[in-house]
């Protein structure tokens, strides 16, 4: 079994500031992939960033970066220069179909 | 444009009735997935299919059934055995392993 834990049900961030969303996971797989998705209030799931367990460098994708600490089984999402459109639910997932319970992010003008 | 289409957007089910949610993709993806999302919760896997004519149960398959007769289509039937079907249902597809899933816009199912 695989378990994903997102301990922050809700987060607030000032516009233009950076924010970190936490994700820890538990898997017995030697090789695995970590994914972050964004879900706006409209409901669709939008892929943000991917990290492979054997990737030596932290993944980056525009304003999104992943702080990957393999020994701690941690894959935190960092959003830099927050925008109002970043307000949404954010989900961490491991190996495609194991999702955490999500973090609701609100960006304050 | 390539993508995943789910229909209908909203669906209402009467007691004892089976209903079918449609999911079609034109991305030429082999793998397809069905998830259930309850308010304030993450996604839970109902069924998935890696190839045509084959599918596997996820964590919450009871009360649901699927078919995969064509690569493009992966319909989900919510049977009368599913006693609490009210939820948001998301369909997804994926190309190669470690590629992200592409999601449809979802179907909201409610009981009348």
Residue B94 has pLDDT above 90, yes or no: yes
Residue A22 has pLDDT above 90, yes or no: yes
What pLDDT was estimated at residue B51?
94
CB A76 within 8 A of CB A25: no
User: Residue A43 and residue B60: Cα distance in Å, rounded?
Assistant: 21
What is the number of residues in chain A? 109
User: Residue A75 and residue A68: Cα distance in Å, rounded?
Assistant: 4
Suggest the residue from A43, A50, A54, A95 to mutate for an interface test with chain B (most B CBs closer than 10 A): A43
Helix (H, G, I), strand (E, B) or coil at B69: coil
Cβ neighbours of residue B1 closer than 8 Å, sequence gap 6 or more: none
CA distance B103 to chain A (A): 6
Q: Which residues pair with B87 in a beta bridge?
A: B109
What pLDDT was estimated at residue B1?
61
pLDDT tens, A11-21? Answer: 999 999 999 99
Cβ neighbours of residue B73 closer than 8 Å, sequence gap 6 or more: B22, B23, B24, B25
Nearest residue of A to residue B94 by CA position? A96
Q: Do B101 and A96 touch (CB under 8 A)?
A: yes
From A40, A72, A78, select the one nearest A53 (Cα to Cα): A72
Q: What is the mean pLDDT of chain B?
A: 93
Residue B103 has pLDDT above 70, yes or no: yes
What pLDDT was estimated at residue B13?
87
Q: What is the mean pLDDT of chain A?
A: 94
């Amino acid at each position: 079994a695989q378990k994903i834990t997102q301990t922050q049900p809700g987060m607030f961030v000032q516009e233009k500031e950076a924010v970190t969303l936490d994700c820890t996971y538990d898997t017995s797989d030697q090789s695995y992939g970590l994914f972050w998705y964004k879900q706006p209030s409209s409901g669709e799931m939008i892929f943000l960033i991917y990290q492979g367990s054997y990737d030596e460098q932290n993944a980056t994708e525009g304003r999104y970066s992943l702080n990957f600490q393999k020994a701690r089984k941690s894959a935190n999402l960092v959003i830099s220069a927050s925008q109002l459109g970043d307000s949404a639910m954010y989900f961490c997932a491991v190996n495609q179909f194991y999702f955490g319970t999500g973090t609701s992010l609100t960006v304050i003008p | 444009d390539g993508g995943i289409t789910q229909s209908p957007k909203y669906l209402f089910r009467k007691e004892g009735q089976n209903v079918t949610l449609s999911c079609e993709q034109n991305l030429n993806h082999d793998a397809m997935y069905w998830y259930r999302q309850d308010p304030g919760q993450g996604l839970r896997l109902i069924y998935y299919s890696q190839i045509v004519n084959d599918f596997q149960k996820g964590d919450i398959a009871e009360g649901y059934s699927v078919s995969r007769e064509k690569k493009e289509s992966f319909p989900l039937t919510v049977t009368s055995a599913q006693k609490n079907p009210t939820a948001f249902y998301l369909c997804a597809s994926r190309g190669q392993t470690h590629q992200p899933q592409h999601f449809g816009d979802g179907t909201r199912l409610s009981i009348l």
